[in-house]
C-alpha cells in the first residue's frame, strides 16, 4: 500500500516553472528521499503534499486522501518539520509540547503526559523545564521533531531536518528517523546531505529544475553511472604510459602516474589486472578501489551543487 501517490504534478510561479510532471509513489512504512540542487522544487513539492500550496496540474494523495479535495483529512494524517525549528524560545520544552497537545485536543492531562513521553524519547528530559532559548541547535531540532509527533501521524515530512547540525546531532537525528520508520511511519525526506539519503532512504528521487531525472534505490542509482573502478598508481610515467596503451579502451581516467579502469570490484578481477601489469613489466606501486557514491550520481545527472 502506498502512503503517498503523486501523478503529473506541476507548479509555476510568475511564469517560472518549478515542477514539471512529477510522478512518484511512496510505500507505507518506508523512507523516501528527495534530492536536488538549490531551486530544484523540493520544498515546493513538500508544501503541495502538506496542503500548503495548490498545484497547477496533477493529482496527489497522502494517506489515502486527495490533497485538494480533502485537505483537512490530509492534515490530520501528517506532520511537517521545516528547514527551521518552529519552536517558542520564551517557553520551556515541556510548555512547547504541552501547548501543541492542547491544540490537538489531547486535554490538559493528556497533553502533559504526551509531552513528558516525547521529552524522554528525544533525550530532552533534563532540559524539559528550561527555556528553549538556552537550547543548542541540535536540541531545538529534536524538540521541533518531537512537536510534530505529538499525535503519532502516519506520514511525516522532514524538509532538510539536519541542516546546520553538528555531526553528533545529525547522527542522533538519523537514529530517530530509523526508529520512526521501524515503528511503521512513512517518512518523506528532503536533504542537502547526500550521505543522509544514502543512509536513510529506501527509495530516492533526484530532481533538477523541477524535472525528475532519476529514481531508484541508492545502489540502483550508483550502478546507473557505472560500477566500481580500480586506480593503479605506477612508480614512473613510463610505466603509466605502457599500462595505458595495453589497457586502451578500458581506461576511464588517467593522471601522470596512474590509470583508472572500470571493474566489477571482485578480488579475482583485481588479481588478474595486477598479473597483467606484472607480465607487461609495468610496476604498480598502489592500488585503490573506488565505489560510486550518491555524490557521483548527483554530479553526473545534474551538474550542480547538492542541496
CATH number at residue 254: 3.30.70
The predicted pLDDT at position 160 comes to 84
- What is the reported pTM? 0.75
Domain boundary residue, one of 190, 223, 256: 223
- Whether residues 79 and 198 share a domain: the answer is yes
- Whether residues 164 and 207 share a domain: the answer is yes
The predicted pLDDT at position 74 comes to 96
The predicted pLDDT at position 305 comes to 44
- Whether residues 155 and 255 share a domain: the answer is no
- Whether residues 183 and 265 share a domain: the answer is no
**With contact defined as beta carbons under 8 Å apart, do 237 and 225 qualify?**
no
The predicted pLDDT at position 171 comes to 85
Q: Which of 214, 205, 218, 219 is nearest to 300 (CA)?
A: 214
Quick one: which H or E segment has residue 77? helix 71-77
In a domain, 249, yes or no: yes
CA pseudo-torsion sign 11, 15, 18, 20: positive
- Whether residues 152 and 265 share a domain: the answer is no
Q: Which three cell numbers stand for residue 304?
A: 550542480
Q: What is the mean pLDDT of each run of 10 residues along the chain (307 residues)?
A: 95 92 96 87 94 96 96 92 76 91 89 92 89 89 85 90 79 87 93 83 91 87 72 90 85 83 79 90 88 71 53
Chain-centroid distance of CA 251 in Å reads 33
Q: Which three cell numbers stand for residue 197?
A: 539519503
**With contact defined as beta carbons under 8 Å apart, do 161 and 171 qualify?**
no
Q: Which domain holds residue 254?
A: 228-291
Number of domains in the chain: 2
Q: Which of 233, 244, 227, 235 is nearest to 296 (CA)?
A: 227
- Whether residues 177 and 107 share a domain: the answer is yes
Amino acid at each position: 500500500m502506498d502512503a503517498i501517490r503523486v501523478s503529473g504534478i506541476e507548479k509555476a510561479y510568475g511564469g517560472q516553472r518549478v515542477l514539471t510532471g512529477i510522478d512518484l509513489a511512496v510505500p507505507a512504512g518506508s523512507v523516501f528521499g528527495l534530492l536536488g540542487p538549490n531551486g530544484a522544487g523540493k520544498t515546493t513539492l513538500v508544501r503541495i503534499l502538506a496542503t500548503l500550496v495548490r498545484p497547477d496540474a496533477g493529482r496527489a494523495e497522502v494517506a489515502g486522501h486527495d490533497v485538494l479535495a480533502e485537505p483537512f483529512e490530509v492534515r490530520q494524517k501528517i506532520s511537517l518539520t521545516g528547514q527551521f525549528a518552529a519552536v517558542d524560545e520564551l517557553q520551556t520544552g515541556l510548555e512547547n509540547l504541552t501547548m501543541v497537545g492542547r491544540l490537538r485536543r489531547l486535554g490538559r492531562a493528556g497533553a502533559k503526559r504526551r509531552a513528558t513521553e516525547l521529552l524522554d524519547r528525544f533525550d530532552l528530559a533534563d532540559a524539559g523545564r528550561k527555556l528553549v532559548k538556552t537550547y543548542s541547535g541540535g536540541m531545538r531540532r529534536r524538540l521541533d521533531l518531537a512537536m510534530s509527533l505529538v499525535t503519532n501521524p502516519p506520514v511525516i515530512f522532514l524538509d532538510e531536518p539536519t541542516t546546520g547540525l553538528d555531526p553528533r546531532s545529525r547522527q542522533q537525528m538519523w537514529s530517530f528517523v530509523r526508529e520512526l520508520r521501524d515503528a511503521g511511519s512513512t517518512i518523506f525526506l528532503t536533504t542537502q546531505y547526500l550521505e543522509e539519503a544514502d543512509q536513510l532512504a529506501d527509495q530516492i528521487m533526484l530532481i533538477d529544475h523541477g524535472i525528475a531525472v532519476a529514481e531508484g534505490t541508492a545502489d540502483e542509482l550508483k550502478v546507473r553511472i557505472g560500477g566500481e573502478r580500480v586506480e593503479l598508481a605506477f612508480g614512473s610515467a613510463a610505466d603509466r604510459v605502457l599500462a595505458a596503451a595495453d589497457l586502451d579502451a578500458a581506461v576511464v581516467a588517467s593522471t601522470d602516474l596512474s590509470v583508472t579502469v572500470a571493474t566489477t570490484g571482485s578480488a579475482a578481477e583485481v588479481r588478474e589486472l595486477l598479473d597483467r601489469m606484472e607480465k607487461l613489466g609495468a610496476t604498480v606501486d598502489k592500488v585503490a578501489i573506488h565505489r560510486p557514491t550518491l555524490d557521483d550520481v548527483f554530479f553526473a545527472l545534474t551538474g550542480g551543487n547538492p542541496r
